[in-house]
Chain A
Amino acid sequence: MATSQEPVIVGFLCNWCSYAGADSAGTGRMVQPTNVRIIRVPCSGRVNPRFILRAFQRGADGVLVSGCHPNDCHYSTGNFFARRRLLLLKRYLEYLGIEPARFETHWVSASEGQKWAEVVRSMAERVKALGPSPKLPSLL
């Protein structure tokens, strides 16, 4: 996956806000880089930290989690729990030797197509500057 110069970013997007936000960026024909491979999840609170490490191990150069703004969660509090967990995770990944810029979390609502395009653009730029993410050996 990381053979091309273009970095691969895996994006975990919540169904209710960010996925719709990305959709509205598309229907609004906003120009955005094509680096993000989107995985739709019910809520940012659904994102288990191990998804993120696994994404890196399977070839992602960056991982993005995006959910509803605080207080806008479809399930009321899912993103608050996610916020705590991901704050901790960000430091943990950095500690394990994954450059902090490779993992980002954003709040993008269904109407924020513009913000989504900007999130993708700026993150792709940062990850591209870092180069391919180093991989640990696996059997594959």
Chain B
Amino acid sequence: MAQSPVPKATRLVKKAGLGAWLTALAADNNVMAPVTVDGKPLFRWIGAGEVGQLDLAAVHTVNSPKGGVMPQTEPMLTYSAVQDGSGGKTLDIKPAAEDRPAVLFGVRPCDAAAIDLVGKVYLTGEFTDEQYQARRDRTTVVAIACAAPAKACFCTSFDLSPGAVRGADVVLYGRSGPGSVAEGDAYYAIAYTERGEAFLGGAAAKAAGVSDLPAGEADKLEKIVAAFRGLATPLGKKLGKVDVADKLESLFESAYWEKVSSRCLSCATCTFVCPTCYCFGVADTGAGGQGVRFRYWDFCKSPQFMLMAGGHDPRPAKKNRTRQRFLHKLNYHHNRCGEYLCVGCGRCVESCPVGLHLPLVVSDVRGLQP
């Protein structure tokens, strides 16, 4: 377990003040928050007018907030053909316009950790993804600790917990502690980064009535935060710590992949709801001498994902593609970055139409003979 993160500022915010907070934030920021649409909890960009739909009750939104830092469709540049002065034409290329600063509000600790986890892929090593960097630099992540982890939650199978801080600038902890879904009448808002500190001291926070901690509550706060961090997760309890990276080294050729993948639909549900899947494709769209180059989420379960121009496909079957997805998360990434590419949010468990998900593969792999 990583050492306890050090708070930079601690405040109190009434649950009733959240609406005003978001409204004030929406004036200068793009705000993403969980809302319920036709009975489905979804993470969405919301305008000031939609603040009333904020719904922090659901532990899992169907989608993750990863779209906040990796939009499903993100323009990279625009181009247009212009006269070059000597009778010919030249291409005028402009980088995509920058968005306003963003606040991702009500993010669960697993999803916040996922942003940090995926950030390493984009921002470390030989190349830095400048566009991603710019987006991250203008994004504030406000997490909310989970009072009642859902049935499919297994963040504790990794170095995370329902009260974890990783990836978050501010974490909201229900003042009445875990165990109740109502999450009390107020939250402790704790900043763990300088950005978070500034955020809690900002004008929007004032509008929401974010106040100092009442005197003598520091002890209680410490206990409550510790309680959140010590909370077990239902599926995590069943699964235990994920420990299959080494074992998978010898299972590349296992017949298991053929067997488990046979029911895969080759759809992108698991990939697109997953907070840690980050692959993208790049395409152009244009007409009349101008256009846009953009990137979009791609998915390794797609038969088109690895298809080469000449018609060769290195991953021709569902077996290959399923194996790739799980080995990437449970072995390749672990070898490269020293951690699993999964935060245990449980969305694949909840959303896969055919019940083919990571915890299943982990427990199956444990039982396999190398």
Q: Do chains A and B touch in the complex (CB under 8 A)?
A: yes
Q: What residues of chain A have their CB less than 8 Å away from a CB belonging to chain B?
A: 58, 138-140
Chain B nearest CB: distance from A140 CB in Å? Answer: 6
Extra pairs beyond A139-B75, A140-B285, A140-B287 (10, CB < 8 Å): A58-B287, A138-B285, A139-B73, A139-B285, A139-B292, A139-B294, A140-B286, A140-B290, A140-B291, A140-B292
13 A-B pairs whose Cβ atoms sit less than 8 Å apart in the complex? A58-B287, A138-B285, A139-B73, A139-B75, A139-B285, A139-B292, A139-B294, A140-B285, A140-B286, A140-B287, A140-B290, A140-B291, A140-B292
Q: How far is the CA of A139 from the CA of B291 in the complex (A)?
A: 8
Q: List the B residue with the shortest CB-CB distance to A1.
A: B288
Interface 1/0 per residue, B73-92 and A, CB below 8 Å = 10100000000000000000
Q: Which residues of A contact B292 (CB under 8 A)?
A: 139-140
Q: List the B residue with the shortest CB-CB distance to A139.
A: B292
Chain B nearest CB: distance from A134 CB in Å? Answer: 19
Chain B nearest CB: distance from A28 CB in Å? Answer: 33
Q: Which residues of B contact A58 (CB under 8 A)?
A: 287
Among A58, A139, A140, the one with the most B-chain Cβ atoms within 10 Å of its Cβ is: A139
Q: How far is the CA of A139 from the CA of B292 in the complex (A)?
A: 7
Q: List the A residue with the shortest CB-CB distance to B294.
A: A139
Q: List the A residue with the shortest CB-CB distance to B292.
A: A139
Chain A nearest CB: distance from B260 CB in Å? Answer: 36
Q: How far is the CA of A140 from the CA of B286 in the complex (A)?
A: 7
Secondary structure class of chain B's binding surface, majority of residues: strand
Q: List the B residue with the shortest CB-CB distance to A58.
A: B287
Q: How far is the CA of A70 from the CA of B148 in the complex (A)?
A: 67
Chain B nearest CB: distance from A137 CB in Å? Answer: 11
Q: Which of B243-301 contact A (CB under 8 A)?
A: 285-287, 290-292, 294
Chain A nearest CB: distance from B80 CB in Å? Answer: 11
Chain A nearest CB: distance from B229 CB in Å? Answer: 43
Q: List the A residue with the shortest CB-CB distance to B291.
A: A140
Q: How far is the CA of A138 from the CA of B292 in the complex (A)?
A: 10
Q: How far is the CA of A138 from the CA of B286 in the complex (A)?
A: 11
Q: Which residues of B contact A138 (CB under 8 A)?
A: 285
Q: How far is the CA of A107 from the CA of B329 in the complex (A)?
A: 59
Chain B nearest CB: distance from A79 CB in Å? Answer: 30
Q: Which residues of A contact B73 (CB under 8 A)?
A: 139
Q: How far is the CA of A135 from the CA of B79 in the complex (A)?
A: 22
Q: List the A residue with the shortest CB-CB distance to B284.
A: A139
The 4 closest A-B pairs by CB, nearest first: A139-B292, A139-B285, A139-B294, A140-B287
Interface 1/0 per residue, B18-37 and A, CB below 8 Å = 00000000000000000000
Q: How far is the CA of A58 from the CA of B286 in the complex (A)?
A: 11
Q: How far is the CA of A111 from the CA of B290 in the complex (A)?
A: 41
Q: Which residues of B contact A140 (CB under 8 A)?
A: 285-287, 290-292
Q: Which residues of A contact B294 (CB under 8 A)?
A: 139
Chain B nearest CB: distance from A10 CB in Å? Answer: 14
Q: Which residues of A contact B286 (CB under 8 A)?
A: 140
Chain A nearest CB: distance from B223 CB in Å? Answer: 50
Q: Which residues of A contact B287 (CB under 8 A)?
A: 58, 140
Q: How far is the CA of A58 from the CA of B75 in the complex (A)?
A: 19
Chain B nearest CB: distance from A59 CB in Å? Answer: 9
Q: How far is the CA of A58 from the CA of B287 in the complex (A)?
A: 9
Q: How far is the CA of A94 from the CA of B369 in the complex (A)?
A: 59
Q: How far is the CA of A56 from the CA of B285 in the complex (A)?
A: 17
Q: Which residues of A contact B285 (CB under 8 A)?
A: 138-140
Q: How far is the CA of A13 from the CA of B290 in the complex (A)?
A: 28
